[in-house]
Structure 1
Amino acid sequence: MEPKGIPGLNAEESTAWMSLMAMTMWLPAALDVQLSRDEGISNFEYGALAALAQNECRSMRIKDLARMANGTFPRLSKMIDRFEKQGWVIRRPDPDDGRATRAVLTAEGLRKVAVATPAHIALARELVFDQLTSEQVEQLTTITQKVFRAAGPDGACASRMT
């Protein structure tokens, strides 16, 4: 029996949409399991630490980190509280805006990212890149960048949250 399409989408679009929805639910969950088991952090937390590690000055305004991670300011603030207790991050006033606070990655936080990254990348390789040809990786990059621009913090999310 052929699955029914989603109203407003043709059969090909319905299949693609359901596949995308399943991937966006299950891939983060798989990454969460590995990171939680191995490092005691979530995929969301790893993403925030990695963003700080990749930033040239190893710091970001907390509100910008929240925007980048698609988390609320209170959620990020609570996470930064936990990171401070672990010695991974410190808060500092933003030198360009005294009203803003920056999260600054410490040497211990950088070590945490360095320790967590190899297994995280190995799982990403196993779950995503080993499943695709190099041509498909290029297509994936093109597709995900387009969807991110449309739906991300400067796209639909920004216009619908005001």
Structure 2
Amino acid sequence: MSDVRWLSAEEQQVWRAFMTAVTKFTEHLDRQLQRDSGMPMAYYEILVALSEAPERALRMSELASVCHSSRSRLSHAVARLEKEGWVERRACPSDRRGSIAALTDVGFRVLGQAAAGHVTAVREHLFDVLTPEQLRSLAEISRAVDAGLTAECAKVRREEFADL
């Protein structure tokens, strides 16, 4: 394993600080949504994605992609959201094998109620603790990490399709 580029002591500290901050922040947001709105953050993200889509509806495969979720995990979550009356699933008119998830009026109202507490938590624990310069740096860093992972995912997909 001599070709492994081990992390330096400073890189280890940055990595651990980053992971701790992301984990604590995500857990805090999830607890806040559960406490105030009775839903986990994953359900909130699904409702947000649908609320921003044309006609508040997306094909399930597209919704899975937008939410960075597996299709099976998303299907389970949408089934739970259907039971709450927040989402309805219907057949895709252009492809009988596909289905569409649509945000109901009730789901849109629930999302609106949940959004206030969620945005307050995000503001208090992210935006309010950083300076404008740190926010700009965080945006640049986030875009760089996202771009690197997006490129890696595209490369993996090309390799997977090459094997077919």
TM beyond 0.5:
yes
Higher mean C-alpha displacement, 16-25 vs 36-45: 16-25
Structure-2 separation of matches of 1:86 and 1:45: 11
User: Greater share of helix residues, 1 or 2?
Assistant: 2
Q: Judging changes above 3 Å, is the alpha-carbon distance between structure 1 residues 146 and 57 closer, same or farther for their aligned structure 2 residues?
A: farther
Letter in 1 for 2:98: A
Q: 3-state DSSP class of the match of 1:92? A: strand
Cα distance in 2, alignment partners of residues 12 and 56 from structure 1: 46
* Aligned residue in 1 for 2:10: 12
Specify the alignment match of 1:136 in structure 2.
134
Q: Is residue 83 of structure 2 the alignment partner of residue 85 of structure 1? A: yes
The yes-or-no answer on 1:75 pairing with 2:64 is no
Q: CA RMSD in A?
A: 1.8
Instruction: Point out where structure 1 has 5 or more consecutive residues left out of the alignment.
Output: 1-6
1:109-120 equivalence runs, <5 A:
109-120=107-118
Match of 2:56 among 55, 58, 72: 58
Q: How many residues align?
A: 154
Task: Give the deviation of 1:11 after TM superposition.
Answer: 3.0
**Take 1:31 and 1:129, find their aligned partners in 2: how far apart are those partners?**
14
For the residue of structure 1 that corresponds to 2:55, the secondary structure is: coil
CA distance in 1, matches of 2:17, 2:74: 30
- Note closer, same or farther for the CA distance 1:91–1:17 as it changes in structure 2 (3 Å cut): same
Letter in 2 for 1:70: H
- 1:34 matched to which residue of 2? 32
1:105 corresponds to which residue? Answer: 103
Aligned to 1:156: 152
The TM-score normalised by the length of structure 2 is 0.85
Instruction: Give, in angstroms, the shift of residue 22 of structure 1.
Output: 1.2
Q: Which amino acid aligns with 1:156?
A: E
Name stretches of at least 5 consecutive residues in structure 2 with no aligned partner: none
The Cα shift of 1:149 comes to 2.3
Partner amino acid, structure 1, of 2:140: T
